[in-house]
Structure 1
Amino acid sequence: MDSPGYDALPRGRHHLTREQVVASQRYRLLQGITEVVAEKGYLRTSVADVLKRARVSRETFYEHFSDKQECFLTAFEENAELLLEVVERAAGPAGEPGLTRLERTLVAYLEGLAGDPAGARTFLLEVYAVGPPAAARRFQIQRRFVELINGLLRDDDRWLRLPDPEFASRMVVGGVAALVTGLVAQGDHAALPALREPIMAHVRTLIDPAR
């Protein structure tokens, strides 16, 4: 069932600046496509669906985006940037143990996805329906997560003694992505935070096989 959408801007005279109006329209369009795609799937979502959810005109949509794909990719990139900022802040200052910082990062990531079911489904599952441009951007974002994780764990000498620490980081990020995507596909977002413990146990085994 379609939601009623977002509140439209007041008609007639108001005290909003042009910049505020444009920002509000853009935000509603990005949220709109995120939510509608989560409900209907990317291929079944039309620009008209997004307009209805965002409560903006078709003319306004095309002032912001050239088509549905550009709107989706913009929403994807901004969502990913926000999540990256959250997990980077969660890592805390350098100098603390790498595993401690990794665990905080992991908690922030899993809780962030659990708290945004629509975004999780749209950007982890439906992104594959968009085609090569989305796949390429998803790879770029995942690469940044690899760099983040590798940077945290390189503070641990045991991680550096692995045959290929960077490859190990790629395996960890890929494994986390697969686990998370599986739960999101099942609609079991509430179970996401519980992945922290087995993931951390696996990383500890990598750096200390004798455990």
Structure 2
Amino acid sequence: MTESATSARQLPRGRHGLPREQVVASQRERILIAMAEAMTENGYVGTSVAAILKRAGVSRETFYEQFRSKEACFEAAFERAVQNLLGRMQEVAGDADAAVAADLEQDSIARMDRIFDAYLQHMVDDPASARLFLVEVYAVGPAAISRRMKLQELFVGLIADTLDARTAEQRFACQTLAAAIGAMVTGRIAADDMAGLLALRKPLLELVRRGGELYGFAVQSN
């Protein structure tokens, strides 16, 4: 589980002698976590800067030293959430590039299983951030939605590389798969259905297996 805004990198009380950069970084981290946490209760529209300040334990002056507006704070919180998610998925997928598998299909399916597991488990471990970039993003505006679409394309690329999608048709199938996953995950996050979220892993993997070369040359049709 992730830290809450009140506990994340909490600075010692009183005179601590910490460098200015460390203080600012700690405050920024708490603000970004607080943004995500506050929206789980009231959504983006209903979340005020005051609510964020209360959770983060910082002053209004500190907030506006780092962010020009609530929307700018959301953008930064979104980027933080995306980088955390991508880092987790890339970590589990990265080792396979150096491995030489005797069975390419078996290796690709195993990699997809690790990617799905990392993706879904990350949502469960950090539901506030998941809700931020899957649900609340649509209330912020076109720029935020555009960032959401770019994130999905990165997910498409990871799937396509893993399954060795080479043709335009295979790439489109991977895009369709990523879009379907996004829609199903978003619904479960909105409903706070974490058990249902994790239950997606096995049927998604079986879908890829049955799809075979529809998705990429690394998977053979049965």
- TM (norm. structure 2) is 0.85
CA contact (8 A) 1:5 1:52 kept: no
CA contact (8 A) 2:170 2:213 kept: no
Residue 203 of structure 1 is matched in structure 2 by 208
Unpaired stretches in structure 2, ≥5 consecutive residues: 102-106, 215-220
Q: Deviations over 1:130-180 (max 9, x none)?
A: 0111101101111111111101110xxxx55x7711101101101111111
CA contact (8 A) 1:183 1:192 kept: yes
Question: Matches of 2:168 and 2:129 in 1, distance apart?
Answer: 36
Q: Deviations over 1:33-86 (max 9, x none)?
A: 010011110000011111111010111001111100010111111111111111
Q: 1:169 aligns with which of 171, 174, 177?
A: 174
Aligned residues: 203
Question: Matches of 1:131 and 1:169 in 2, distance apart?
Answer: 26
Residue 88 of structure 2 is matched in structure 1 by 86
DSSP 3-state at the match of 1:6:
coil
Q: Which amino acid aligns with 1:104?
A: R
- TM (norm. structure 1) is 0.89
Q: 2:68 aligns with which of 51, 54, 66?
A: 66
What percent identity do the matched residue pairs reach? 45
Q: Which moved more, 1:10-19 or 1:85-94?
A: 10-19
Counterpart check, 1:103 vs 2:113: yes
- Structure 1 pair 163–41 and aligned structure 2 pair: CA distance change class (3 A): closer
CA contact (8 A) 1:38 1:119 kept: no
Aligned pairs for 1:1-211 within 5 A: 6=6, 9-91=11-93, 92-94=95-97, 95-96=100-101, 97-154=107-164, 160=166, 164-207=169-212, 211=222
Question: Matches of 2:183 and 2:91 in 1, distance apart?
Answer: 24
Q: CA deviation at 1:191?
A: 2.4
Question: Matches of 2:125 and 2:87 in 1, distance apart?
Answer: 16
Q: CA deviation at 1:12?
A: 3.9
Unpaired stretches in structure 1, ≥5 consecutive residues: none
CA contact (8 A) 2:81 2:130 kept: no
Question: Matches of 2:5 and 2:160 in 1, distance apart?
Answer: 41
| CA RMSD after TM alignment | 1.9
Question: Matches of 2:79 and 2:30 in 1, distance apart?
Answer: 16
Q: Which amino acid aligns with 1:51?
A: L
